[in-house]
Amino acid sequence: MRINELKRKLQRGETVIGPFMCASHASFVEVVGLAGFDFAILDMEHGPLEVETVEDLCRAAHGVNLTPIVRVRKNDGPQIQRALDIGSGGVQVPQIETRTDAEAAVRGAKYQPWGMRGLSFYTRAGDYTLNGVSGLTDKLNDEQMLIVHVEGKRGLDNLDEIVQVPNVDVIFLGPYDLSQSFGIPGQVDDPRVVKGMEEATEKIRAAGKIAGTFAGDVGRAKRWMDLGVQYISISVDLGIFGDACKGLVAQLRG
């Protein structure tokens, strides 16, 4: 099985960067890896991707030393299991609001003794049994990451308990859903949203956990990096492509 270099970087205290990805063509994933990003979040929550396509995108990612992370649609054991069985480097689980939610995500993502993930070795994650299965569940528990989204006021209110849940690798603060929970959808720079995220970042780091978030542009990303956020999702593949296209058109017609 594959060594998760993304997890190693985070454990060394490095900051890692990568976009969300909705496009279904493997070339987009290859470009992201060749460009030097650390990871790509293959988005099954807001994008149109299905698991068969995502499995092939994972293959493309591994071909260019890019760690594929899969965001599932909800905190659901079978969805989490499938996202990991296809051989991804980890899973992102949305809408974690309580300690109970976080514990449920761990149960879905981890094998015994940490969880109750459904067990089959005839998967891409298990190398289809061709490299042996002895100790494999322990290895997968160690290598495949669990990233949970705290993205609402209720989640912030319960963060002191959420950060105590073991076997969660990253606590990801979702600014857009958080802005919506404050009644100001999309206003991610509003002082209430920023303050909530700053205070949450401090709590996450004080608990010895890794903080993550989304940034729509480089300026926002650097600001969160300066505050100690290690796992930075920067923009979305189609947005990056769209901005590049608009820029070219503006230059040629300007």
Give catalytic residues, as residue numbers.
Answer: 46
Q: Check: CB of residue 42 under 8 Å from CB of residue 57.
A: yes
Q: What b-and-e string marks burial along 99-120, b requiring 16 or more CB atoms within 10 Å of the CB?
A: bebbbbbbebbbbeebbebeee
- CA atoms lying within 13 Å on the CB side of residue 188: 15
Compute how many other C-beta atoms are within 10 angstroms of the C-beta atom of residue 161: 13
CA-CA distances (angstroms) from residue 60 to 93, 95, 153, 188, 254? Answer: 22, 28, 37, 33, 37
Q: Determine if residue 237 is left, alpha or beta; phi over 0 gives left, psi from -120 to 50 gives alpha, anything else beta.
A: alpha
Please name the helix (run of DSSP H) or strand (run of DSSP E) that holds residue 244, with its range, or none. Answer: helix 237-253
Please name the helix (run of DSSP H) or strand (run of DSSP E) that holds residue 100, with its range, or none. Answer: helix 99-109
Question: How many angstroms separate the CA atoms of 200 and 238, rounded?
Answer: 29
Tokens of 41: 């979040």
Listed in sequence order, the residues at least 6 apart from 18 whose beta carbon sits closer than 8 Å to its beta carbon are 32, 37, 38, 39, 40, 41, 66, 67, 69, 232, 233, 234
